[in-house]
A and B are shown apart, each in its own frame.
Chain A
Amino acid sequence: MVEPYRHPATQPPASPAKQAEAGPGRSLWGDAAAKLRRDRVAMICLAVIAVYALVGLGAFVYDLLAGYGFLGLQPFAQMTDYRSSNQGPSWSHWLGTDWAGRDVLFKTVLGVKVSLTVGLMSNLIAVPLGMLLGALAGFYGRRTDAVITWLYSTLSSIPGIILLIALKFAFQELSVWGLDLRGITGVYLALAVVSWIGTCRLVRAETLKLRELDYVLAARAGGRGGLGILIHHIFPNVFHLGIISFSLGFVGAISAEVILSYLGLGVEVGQTSWGTMINSARMDLVAGRWWELTSAVTAMFILVLALNLFGDRLRDALDPRLRNV
């Protein structure tokens, strides 16, 4: 028979045994970040996005300065030069000029700013809103859940683009708290109204699951109130869903804004975005003028591609189960 033995650790210290586990325990974020860092495609995409962000920032600064006339910079609206309209790419205008003589490259750069701000602003409203409502619906259940579910079922039964158009139509006469909703601010709001639903659904589903977990039940048994549980237990565990929704919504917002601006429902009249570039270049292709359209489309394509690929990898790193999302 086998006798009991003394485990080496209870004996005077012997040679240190190698740790059986590989490396210290890592959090979800640390793991995700490490995975992403190793992924070459993800890193390339991140670099591309960073370049776009810098360009956008530059355009934003330019707008700001030009608005006050600093450094003699001209605001975009005044940059018309009808003598050199509709010229092809040349050394003075790398991507040609548009119908009003404005430099297409410059317009494209301004479009970067518009797209990035739209993606940012609309999701900054939509994602927290969706997370809040989703968590409330999932956690409190019953009536709160019924109301919120009814709300998003109703909104989502109107196809997105149509709802956007309807919202913009409605906003045309409206101005809320001094914000003129006819232009890009209206786009932020309209996009937010449409995109909070996705986040809400995700967070609600996850909250429903989390609510039943043992440690939540233990916390409730320990007397923690609803708000405390929401903040300390639910929220940290659905935060990654917020990131995922943000990444998905960002791309969607960019595409939606371009379509809205193309339809004339996007940015204000004096401003430019890729959508208005595409709109004004609508008939140019058949007339042989390809530069404005191509430049807007290519800039958008590269950004959307980088965002999509990075978003995919991000989602895989944070939660491979969500690959279907």
Chain B
Amino acid sequence: MNDDRALLQVRNLKTHFHTEDGLVRAVDGVNFRIRPAECFALVGESGCGKSVTAFSILRLIPCPPGQIADGQILFEGRDLLTLSGSRMRQVRGGQIGMIFQEPMSSLNPVYTVGWQIVEAIRLHRRLGGAAARKLAIELLAQVGISAPAQRIDEYPHQLSGGMRQRVMIAIALAGQPKLLIADEPTTALDVTIQAQILELIQGLQRGRDLSVMLITHDLAVVAEVADTVAVMYASKLAELTDVRRLFADPLHPYTQGLFRSIPRLGQKADRLQTIPGNVPSPLAFPSGCKFHPRCPIGHDLPRCRAEEPWLREVAPGHWAACWECPGYQTAPQTDPSEPPSATISPTPARDAPTAPAPAAGPREHA
């Protein structure tokens, strides 16, 4: 990972939904970056906004209720949010591909698998009839489907769940994208198939120099394949670092709580400790830090109740958003969506003794 240029930079992304019950701030200031050939995992419980983040990148948010209210999504330097409709369509599938959670309903039931792959090929590569079909068969082979020349003319309902997901991957890769977004790709599959699909994704990533953004709620999956992990809670990022460091030393209380609730080999415990309470409804977020009502540390600390923390680099390459996190008060205000400079130590200009950040709310731009 010598190449520190960012493939994708998400800056201060805010996606809101106007519902009849009020304004839902599903994503409220999210910053991160994905490097080329990196596997980036976005982890969180259901409802935290991780899928919405992924959809926002490809601008697949339905626009009457939804709206990308603020932020920038820089893909290879260009802000996707400013692109015209037709250019964005070229990005979708051609530069960024996406696969979804439910492979059965995500494939059109009335067209053959081959037809759907060829459609993607025709959109992004200048290939006609026979050549496109040949490529489609090749793609099916690459995603591990046996007898691809027969399978290509089958319908989605004739394939198993694992095979359908492979077809989805083939469709997503047909346009030779540089980034593949995978929204919970294995959640709807059996455990054994899960492992196969993950292996496939990993293999494809290495073979094609592809970046993968993996959305999941399963820490085990993250441990398997991810390089960098971002933990999301209630529309914001709580922690962001590489996978080893996250598992070795989680800093945010939420992440710690997640790890406490997973059984570990060699651990002796009578019962798993859960995080008390429930994920807050986006219509009624708590004041201050959104996690504070459930936080063992901050639930009655005045600062946690009043002010909302944001991501700061509390250790080299390790960002967390928690007032009580060690190193937070002195952390430099680096932007996790910016590629780090060549040295990994904080730059001298920022190494000043701290006064608490004057702004009461989160500040996003470095």
Contact between chain A and chain B defined by CB under 8 Å: yes
A interface list, Cβ under 8 A from B: 2, 4-9, 14-15, 17-18, 20-22, 38
Interface residues of B in 282-298 (CB under 8 A from A): 283-284, 286, 293-294, 296
Q: Closest residue of chain B to A39, judged by CB?
A: B20
What residues of chain A lie closer than 8 Å to B269, measured between beta carbons? Answer: 4
B interface list, Cβ under 8 A from A: 20, 250, 256, 259-260, 269, 273, 276-281, 283-284, 286, 293-294, 296, 299-300
What residues of chain B lie closer than 8 Å to A17, measured between beta carbons? Answer: 277, 293, 299
Q: Are A9 and B259 in contact (CB under 8 A)?
A: no
Docked Cα-Cα span, A38 to B300, in Å, equals 37
Q: How many residue pairs between the two chains, A and B, have CB atoms under 8 Å in the bound complex?
A: 40
What residues of chain B lie closer than 8 Å to A6, measured between beta carbons? Answer: 296
Q: Are B299 and A14 in contact (CB under 8 A)?
A: yes
CB contact under 8 A between A22 and B281, given known A14-B299, A15-B300, A17-B293: yes
Q: Are B256 and A2 in contact (CB under 8 A)?
A: yes
A18 contact from B259, B286, B296, Cβ within 8 A: B286
What residues of chain A lie closer than 8 Å to B283, measured between beta carbons? Answer: 22
16 A-B residue pairs with Cβ-Cβ distance under 8 Å, sorted by A, are A2-B250, A4-B260, A4-B269, A5-B273, A5-B296, A6-B296, A7-B296, A14-B300, A18-B286, A20-B277, A20-B293, A20-B294, A21-B284, A22-B281, A22-B283, A38-B20
Docked Cα-Cα span, A21 to B259, in Å, equals 24
Q: Closest residue of chain A to B280, judged by CB?
A: A20
A7 CB to closest chain B CB (Å) equals 5
Docked Cα-Cα span, A2 to B294, in Å, equals 16
Q: Are B281 and A8 in contact (CB under 8 A)?
A: no
Docked Cα-Cα span, A14 to B301, in Å, equals 11
What residues of chain B lie closer than 8 Å to A7, measured between beta carbons? Answer: 276, 296
A12 CB to closest chain B CB (Å) equals 12
Docked Cα-Cα span, A8 to B276, in Å, equals 9
CB contact under 8 A between A20 and B300, given known A2-B256, A2-B260: no
Q: Are B281 and A18 in contact (CB under 8 A)?
A: no
CB contact under 8 A between A2 and B284, given known A17-B277, A18-B293: no
Docked Cα-Cα span, A17 to B298, in Å, equals 12
Q: Are A8 and B300 in contact (CB under 8 A)?
A: yes
Q: Are B20 and A21 in contact (CB under 8 A)?
A: no
Docked Cα-Cα span, A48 to B126, in Å, equals 61
B62 CB to closest chain A CB (Å) equals 16
Docked Cα-Cα span, A15 to B286, in Å, equals 15
Docked Cα-Cα span, A18 to B294, in Å, equals 10
What residues of chain B lie closer than 8 Å to A9, measured between beta carbons? Answer: 276
Q: Closest residue of chain A to B248, judged by CB?
A: A1
A21 contact from B260, B281, B294, Cβ within 8 A: B281
What residues of chain B lie closer than 8 Å to A38, measured between beta carbons? Answer: 20
Q: Closest residue of chain A to B259, judged by CB?
A: A2
10 closest residue pairs by CB, A with B: A22-B284, A5-B296, A20-B278, A17-B293, A2-B256, A20-B277, A22-B281, A7-B276, A15-B300, A20-B280
What residues of chain A lie closer than 8 Å to B259, measured between beta carbons? Answer: 2
B212 CB to closest chain A CB (Å) equals 29
What residues of chain A lie closer than 8 Å to B284, measured between beta carbons? Answer: 21-22
What residues of chain A lie closer than 8 Å to B279, measured between beta carbons? Answer: 20
What residues of chain A lie closer than 8 Å to B276, measured between beta carbons? Answer: 7-9
Docked Cα-Cα span, A264 to B251, in Å, equals 83
Q: Are A8 and B296 in contact (CB under 8 A)?
A: yes
Docked Cα-Cα span, A161 to B30, in Å, equals 60
What residues of chain B lie closer than 8 Å to A14, measured between beta carbons? Answer: 299-300
Docked Cα-Cα span, A20 to B281, in Å, equals 7
Docked Cα-Cα span, A6 to B278, in Å, equals 17
B271 CB to closest chain A CB (Å) equals 10
A188 CB to closest chain B CB (Å) equals 39
What residues of chain A lie closer than 8 Å to B296, measured between beta carbons? Answer: 5-8
A36 CB to closest chain B CB (Å) equals 12
Q: Closest residue of chain B to A4, judged by CB?
A: B273
What residues of chain B lie closer than 8 Å to A18, measured between beta carbons? Answer: 286, 293
A171 CB to closest chain B CB (Å) equals 48
Q: Given A8-B300, A18-B293, 7 other A-B contacts at CB below 8 A? A: A2-B259, A5-B273, A7-B296, A8-B299, A20-B280, A20-B293, A22-B284
Q: Closest residue of chain A to B22, judged by CB?
A: A22
Docked Cα-Cα span, A18 to B269, in Å, equals 30
A150 CB to closest chain B CB (Å) equals 31
Docked Cα-Cα span, A21 to B47, in Å, equals 14
B256 CB to closest chain A CB (Å) equals 5
What residues of chain B lie closer than 8 Å to A4, measured between beta carbons? Answer: 260, 269, 273
B347 CB to closest chain A CB (Å) equals 31
B293 CB to closest chain A CB (Å) equals 5
What residues of chain B lie closer than 8 Å to A15, measured between beta carbons? Answer: 300
Docked Cα-Cα span, A22 to B22, in Å, equals 13
A80 CB to closest chain B CB (Å) equals 54
B65 CB to closest chain A CB (Å) equals 14
What residues of chain B lie closer than 8 Å to A2, measured between beta carbons? Answer: 250, 256, 259-260
Q: Closest residue of chain A to B267, judged by CB?
A: A1
Q: Among B250, B269, B281, which residue has the most Cβ atoms of chain A within 10 A?
A: B281
What residues of chain A lie closer than 8 Å to B256, measured between beta carbons? Answer: 2
Docked Cα-Cα span, A14 to B299, in Å, equals 10
Q: Closest residue of chain B to A6, judged by CB?
A: B296
A132 CB to closest chain B CB (Å) equals 36
Docked Cα-Cα span, A144 to B347, in Å, equals 80
Q: Closest residue of chain A to B276, judged by CB?
A: A7
Docked Cα-Cα span, A9 to B276, in Å, equals 9
Docked Cα-Cα span, A21 to B293, in Å, equals 12
A226 CB to closest chain B CB (Å) equals 35
Q: Closest residue of chain B to A22, judged by CB?
A: B284
B366 CB to closest chain A CB (Å) equals 30
Q: Are A21 and B300 in contact (CB under 8 A)?
A: no
Docked Cα-Cα span, A15 to B300, in Å, equals 7
